[in-house]
Structure 1
């Protein structure tokens, strides 16, 4: 990877209607990819180029891509690759836009999304990265939750007060030219990409919901051990954090502890309690945020689980005894 500079990247003046490149990495997402592509094609903004990089899917993905015929805004490739990091970087290499977005092949944009984000970058010429709120849905399109993130701050990002959702993020290509693409050393390559980026440009959060993120069982998001280890290594290896003010290093430690709770590979409640209290000691204000969390009391969840099992056993034993009694 390129050595990361310690200064903000200089941004060029955007054209009146800059080309926007949307990179779509794909592998066996035939169930969802049509909705992804269609959500881009119906945007009320032009020009847009859609770059689908498919890793030689074995489902119906290629048939769906072929069904778009000679759609001028769509470029696609289907060939074996080394995974999603390789696919995204191939897409970056093909992208010609002044503004770039990355959209997973199981997520999709809402109407006016691209126009909203282009306007944000045009109105704020010193901003290199902008993102917005998203809705999370399940595989059946049922809404699970939606974000309502605060304004961006580097400290808030590091301490995981919020995150940068890939489905709603757009950035200036000058940043890509300086910091490089996704790093295949990290399973959390998207987060590591944003980590490098936020140290090199101004970031703007838009108070608008512009995309939907889909949760389903086939996602990498369920590989907790890899996420757990990769996030910690990302923080430990960050050149930017190594030279950052102590307040930002402290924020990154808080974020690491909270991430360990979210992606606890051992499912140990005691370990989660330990990480929560370490985060609270670094930032006492977190005690209010987690005041109702059962993790605050060491062993509480284990005792509750034990009590539940004991109750179930007593109920079963009582039922068995009653069944042995003679009927009147």
Structure 2
């Protein structure tokens, strides 16, 4: 095929129930200049025979000798990818027909951006829409959002192949290897999300992240620890558990003062290290603090919590936020 503009990558392990729909969703893309690399990771069902049933020269089927795992399989991209960009689609998800075109045009128009994703609509194992979506941040805080969650749906991501190679591909963070890669990209380059729904994201009992929760949480702790160190947070081990709670949105009202102290320490550390632009970082922390205060887990607080000097800046606090704060505080009094 020479050198197509985009390499679409699909790792597959025992996805016979879904892979036909996933492959079809790529073959009908409005943007035709791509190759589709399907790597079967030692499937024991009909995944391979289904992939072989397609007669399209843009498909390259690779078979691992045995089950090597997702990191090994994804890192085959380091040598296999011919495209200028790599687009990820899991073998149980479905790309929208204009997905590649939208992302390619965006990256072409924004050459400083090396990674972009978008929203995803959730479907079940019967390909029925559930009515819910995975909505990702679309403003200029995508890189800051990483401090408290993954701002990308992996199956929507497209990134520059040369940057992927430069960074050495995926590292040994099982289940969180994509998040680790995105963080390393954001540390050196610009990243973004489109305000577009790009894929149907399938939720079912065999989702990798669901089956390996303990491994994911352990690797998230390592990633969070590394992010704290890069900001320059001293004695960061003290703050890990609190940060993990915030990252997974498992909030505790009794820890509210501790969350405030963590934010204050992050703010002070970044003012020194300049890891992020301090004004942008401080504003982001304030908005995140407001988000915590009005969450269902914390809601109904005395108004004083909104004006803590550790985090409060007058120019961050607009009338709309004040009205929301006052409403929540009044609710506590009336209850």
* Alignment TM class, shorter chain as reference: 0.7 to 0.9
Give the equivalent residue in structure 2 for 1:279.
259
Cα offset for 1:81?
3.5
Give the equivalent residue in structure 1 for 2:271.
none
Cα offset for 1:77?
1.5
Query: Structure 2: how far apart are the matches of 1:144 and 1:122?
Result: 32
Give the equivalent residue in structure 1 for 2:33.
47
Q: Report if aligned partners of 2:11, 2:90 keep a CA contact under 8 Å in 1.
A: yes
Measured against aligned partners, the alpha-carbon deviations of 1:271-311 in whole angstroms (never above 9, x if no partner) come to 855666643552565355453524679xxxxxxxxxxxxxx
How do 1:212-251 and structure 2 match up within 5 A?
A: 212-222=200-210, 223-237=212-226, 242-244=229-231
Q: Measured at CA, do residues 90 and 18 of structure 1 come closer, stay the same or move farther in structure 2, by a change above 3 Å? A: closer
Cα offset for 1:75?
0.3
Query: Structure 1: how far apart are the matches of 2:254 and 2:125?
Result: 34
Q: Report if aligned partners of 1:134, 1:212 keep a CA contact under 8 Å in 2.
A: yes
Cα offset for 1:260?
4.2
Q: Report if aligned partners of 1:130, 1:171 keep a CA contact under 8 Å in 2.
A: yes
Aligned to 1:158, the other structure's residue is in SS state: coil
TM-score, structure 2 length as denominator?
Answer: 0.71
Query: Structure 2: how far apart are the matches of 1:130 and 1:52?
Result: 21
Q: 1:23 aligns with which of 9, 19, 23?
A: 9
Query: Structure 1: how far apart are the matches of 2:153 and 2:14?
Result: 22
Query: Structure 2: how far apart are the matches of 1:288 and 1:180?
Result: 36
Query: Structure 1: how far apart are the matches of 2:197 and 2:112?
Result: 23
Cα offset for 1:176?
1.1
Give the equivalent residue in structure 1 for 2:165.
177
Query: Structure 2: how far apart are the matches of 1:290 and 1:244?
Result: 24
Q: Report if aligned partners of 1:138, 1:144 keep a CA contact under 8 Å in 2.
A: no
Give the equivalent residue in structure 2 for 1:310.
none
Note the residue ranges of structure 1 that are not aligned, 5 or more in a row: 1-16, 263-270, 298-328
How do 1:307-326 and structure 2 match up within 5 A?
A: none
Q: Measured at CA, do residues 277 and 31 of structure 1 come closer, stay the same or move farther in structure 2, by a change above 3 Å? A: farther
Note the residue ranges of structure 2 that are not aligned, 5 or more in a row: 264-284, 301-335
Q: 1:98 aligns with which of 84, 100, 104?
A: 84
How do 1:110-189 and structure 2 match up within 5 A?
A: 110-140=96-126, 141-146=128-133, 147=135, 149-153=137-141, 154-160=143-149, 163-189=151-177
Give the equivalent residue in structure 2 for 1:293.
296
Cα offset for 1:84?
0.9
RMSD, matched Cα: 2.7
TM-score, structure 1 length as denominator?
Answer: 0.72
Q: Measured at CA, do residues 94 and 156 of structure 1 come closer, stay the same or move farther in structure 2, by a change above 3 Å? A: same
Query: Structure 1: how far apart are the matches of 2:77 and 2:255?
Result: 38
Structure with the bigger RCO (C-alpha within 8 Å, sep 6+) is 1
Q: Measured at CA, do residues 133 and 288 of structure 1 come closer, stay the same or move farther in structure 2, by a change above 3 Å? A: closer
Give the equivalent residue in structure 2 for 1:203.
191
Cα offset for 1:185?
4.1
How many residues are matched?
265
Aligned to 1:133, the other structure's residue is in SS state: strand
